[in-house]
Amino acid sequence: MFTVSLISVLIVLLINGNVAWYTSLTIAVLTAAASSIVELYTRKGMDTITCPFAAAAVLLPLVHLWGA
């Protein structure tokens, strides 16, 4: 989960973001970590719902904060 989330968020931010690559990498790492932790603790197959919400809850504020 961590690797797939990291790569996908990083690619999207590198293509569409207006920030340096290291800022995109930082945002991608933090988003991937949050998604992985939520997936680890989610029970009964609910990670399909909780992981995207967790990723959005981390990704959106960071993108707005750093101006991507």
Model confidence, pTM: 0.90
pLDDT for 19 equals 87
Instruction: Give the other-Cβ count within 10 Å of 57's Cβ.
Output: 13
What does the pLDDT look like over 22-67, one tens digit per residue? 999 999 999 999 999 999 999 988 989 999 999 999 999 999 998 7
